[in-house]
Structure 1
Amino acid sequence: MTKKVTMQQIADHLGVSKYVVSKALSGKKGVSEATKERVIQVSSQLGYFAQNSGYVKPIKLGREEEEKPNADIRQSVLVLMPNIRFQTRDSLYWGRILDGISKRLEDKGIGMVIVMEQNAETFMHLLKPEGILGMIGVGEIASSMLLEIHRLGVTMVLVDHEDPLIPSDTLFANNYDCMYRLTKHLIGIGHRTIGFVGNQRYSRSFFDRWSGFRSAMEEYELWSGEEHLTQLDNMEHYDEPIKQWLLRRKKLRTLPTALVCANDSLALDASKAALELGLSVPDDLSITGFDNIDDSVRHSPPLTTVNVPKESLGARAVDKLLDRIDRSKEPLEKILIAGEVIYRQSITSIKQ
């Protein structure tokens, strides 16, 4: 039997007192952020969060309250979504996932509370665990926030995000497979120099899409280490950096014949950049996106992309959360929802 990881072991590993470890893991003040980060990292490495320990304080939910005839607490699902660039309720991607969550909860007669909060300390003052059935996290959420929710014992499911520090069920589109198939299609219609646009460190989804692209290129011995635009900084629009990158590649006579973009927004910016350089899409440059947001089909030319079933991701997250509440001891799951490549007019074949 595996021995239980204790706070004393963590303290010994770090060379600090057990008292410091306890305060760091309980979220109490008096420990610097740097020390807290070290405690969290070592705790994760030693497997502290993955075990049933005193760190997690399970909250009694639902059934006991239903047995009380005068109970006035209505159980709801907390939907946590940080209000950051592109990751908002109005987003053509994230908003559709929220629609799927809302519809499924409504069908099941369960309330929903949407919180867009980045600060863990402020958020924890707002959270009333006794009224929360569970939590669905949508998109990238800070580890500190997830850690506090985990500490309270709130059952959670993460959509399009995973955190190595936090044991939870996760849901993604099958990003790797879809990008692999899309890249193979471009290769199949004659493209040999294909560029990737999108910061692979932005999210797990972007990393998987990058990996699918690279695998397809390597399989056909087309991976040459050419420069790709993978270090994009956060900004409102990317057409200017994409334009400068294309211009540099053009001067070096290494301009690709196709661009594979990590999502549709990047693909639309890439199309704008190409037009400003006098390049025709798709005659001079084929461009593909990912996600199938509404703007992708309205664009001229309509964008070849991957349809991510966004509403289904949201609905499935609700199903998984309720299942996890009923089957808390079952192994955690990473669920992949199948996407579909949508071929439109933004790509063309290359004659060999």
Structure 2
Amino acid sequence: MSSKITMQQIADSLGVSKFVVSKALAGKEGVSDATREKVIQAATKLGYFAQKNAYMKTVKHEQQPKTSRPGRQSVLVLMPNIRFQTQESLYWGRIVDGISAKLEKDGYGMVIVSEQSVDSFVHFLNPSGISGLIGVGEISTSLLLEIHRLGLPLVLVDHEDPLIPSDTLFANNFESVYRLTRHLIGIGHRKLAFAGSTDYSRSFYDRFLGFRSALEDEGLWDERGGGKENILIDVDGLRHEDAEEPVKQWLAKRLRTRELPTALVCANDMIAIGAVRAAQSHGLNVPAELSVAGFDNIEDAAKLEPALTTVHVPKEALGRRAVERLLQRIDAKDEPAEKILLACELMYRGTTSAVGRQSE
């Protein structure tokens, strides 16, 4: 008996028709985004995508509108408006600035698409006018599968998908937070906590792993006690306003039980800004009673009072390097995919200090 996973098996597991599964995997119209995601998840669990020739054949696009001027190829920058991923963002916008500058220098046009719907994306795209795609931030698996099915060169920035073979670029999240945490330990901190949901993004997860590894190397992880809730504040990094209240509640509990950490390492600057304000609302002195550090070095980090200790991500350089890698991929489509990590710089500012030392 063949062990090959078929569309019929996927359909049976979901209680839908094989026709629905076929349309969902082919990126065709007539299937809702919710159903398409369910089909992809079921296909993944059953091992459908691990098989050779699992992807559908490329569809024809002769009648789709063109997206570039004659004689000039363009690169499509895909940045779905998820979790505030927009050009106005102090983080994502700077990455797009780097992409734009590099493409202009190399003579390419740029088309920015914030579309999340697979159907709308397919109608918009004309592969003959697009040299390749750069995905910025989180992008749904269904949309990435459609891009992969079209066979267009693809580079992802600050995101990766286990189903999609592609080049990826990240800041060196693990090593940067590891170094930052070792620094805090080196200036006397023994009770540290991490603020940021490990399920929010791959970058957040890697930053948490760097934090944990530093504690483990210093023999502090097993000494913590009290459970995971004393070490990890599960909060997303959308806006500092969203982080402020959860951190405020978390700090209130630690103040009641006298389990307040001396340092808080945050998964990004938005969370860190919210954490500083939450600490100040409790009357805590930052950094004398609680040191706080962030990640990204957005423009608001330096404007905070006191200025935020953070990790500087070379955002424009991420964008430029993504373009360089895409152009290399266009010229050598069969090369192995690469995961590129850019080094970051630690920015020591006013929100951190040695244990027991008042800021000057």
The equivalent of 2:126 in structure 1 is 128
Q: CA deviation at 1:27?
A: 2.0
- Give the corresponding residue for 2:6: 10
Mapping 1:282-293, distance limit 5 Å? 282-293=287-298
In 1, distance between residues paired with 2:320 and 2:118?
A: 26
Q: What does residue 41 of structure 1 align with?
A: 44
Displacement of 1:13 after TM fit?
A: 5.6
Question: How far apart are the structure 1 equivalents of 2:264 and 2:11?
Answer: 50
Do residues 277 (structure 1) and 282 (structure 2) align? yes
Q: Is the 8 A contact 1:75 1:111 kept in 2?
A: yes
| Aligned-pair identity (%) | 56
Residue in 2 that maps onto 1:115: 113
What residue number does 1:205 align with? 203
1:134-156 CA distances to partner (integer Å, 9 max, x unpaired)?
00000001111111111111111
Matches within 5 A, 1:216-231: 216-223=214-221, 224=224, 225-227=227-229, 228-231=231-234
Deviation at residue 122 of structure 1 after TM alignment: 1.7
- In 1, distance between residues paired with 2:348 and 2:309? 5
Aligned pair in 2 of structure 1 residues 178, 58: CA closer, same or farther (>3 Å)? farther
Residue correspondences, number: 335
- State yes or no: 1:266 paired with 2:266: no
Task: Write the distance in 2 (CA, Å) between the matches of 1:139 and 1:30.
Answer: 27
Query: Against the structure 1 CA distance between its residues 350 and 109, is the aligned structure 2 distance closer, same or farther, given a 3 Å change threshold?
Result: same
Q: Which residue among 335, 342, 345 is the counterpart of 1:337? A: 342
**Aligned counterpart, 1:94:** 92
Task: Give the equivalent residue in structure 1 for 2:25.
Answer: 25
Q: 1:91 to 1:233 in 2, by over 3 A?
A: closer
The separation in 2 between residues aligned to 1:21 and 1:258, in whole angstroms, is: 50
Q: Is the 8 A contact 1:306 1:339 kept in 2?
A: yes
Letter in 1 for 2:111: V
Q: CA deviation at 1:92?
A: 0.9
Q: 1:153 maps to which residue?
A: 151
User: Given the superposition, is the C-alpha separation of residues 109 and 58 from structure 1 closer, same or farther in structure 2, using an over 3 Å criterion?
Assistant: farther
Residue 346 of structure 2 aligns to a residue whose secondary structure is strand
Two-structure CA RMSD over aligned residues (Å)? 2.7
Tell me, in whole angstroms, the C-alpha distance in 1 between the residues paired with 2:83 and 2:184.
30
Change (3 A) 1:58 1:97: farther
Q: What's the counterpart of residue 55 of structure 1? A: 56
- 2:175 is aligned to 177
Tell me if the contact between 1:292 and 1:306 (Cα under 8 Å) persists in the aligned partners: yes
Alpha-carbon shift at residue 281 of structure 1 (Å) = 0.6
Contact kept in structure 2, 1:305 and 1:343, CA below 8 Å:
yes
**Partner of 2:324: helix, strand, or coil?**
helix
Cross-structure match for 2:309: 304
Going from structure 1 to structure 2, the CA distance change for 1:177 and 1:116 (only over 3 Å counts) comes to same
Name the TM-score, length of structure 2 as normaliser.
0.85
Q: 1:319 to 1:52 in 2, by over 3 A?
A: farther
SS in 2 for 1:141: coil
Query: Does the 8 A contact of 2:265 with 2:293 survive in 1?
Result: yes
**Partners of 1:200 and 1:210 within 8 A in 2:** yes
| Structure 2 contact 264–290 (Cα < 8 Å) conserved | yes
Q: Which amino acid aligns with 2:159?
A: H
Q: Distance in 1 between matches of 2:38 and 2:312?
A: 43
Correspondence for 2:246:
241
Distance 1:18 1:244, change over 3 A: closer
**What's the offset of the Cα at 1:89?**
0.7
Contact 2:181 2:211 in 1 (8 A): yes
Gaps of 5+ in 1: 61-70
With structure 1 as the length reference, what TM-score do the two structures score?
Answer: 0.87
Residue 347 (str. 1) matches residue 352 (str. 2): yes
Match of 1:66 in 2: none
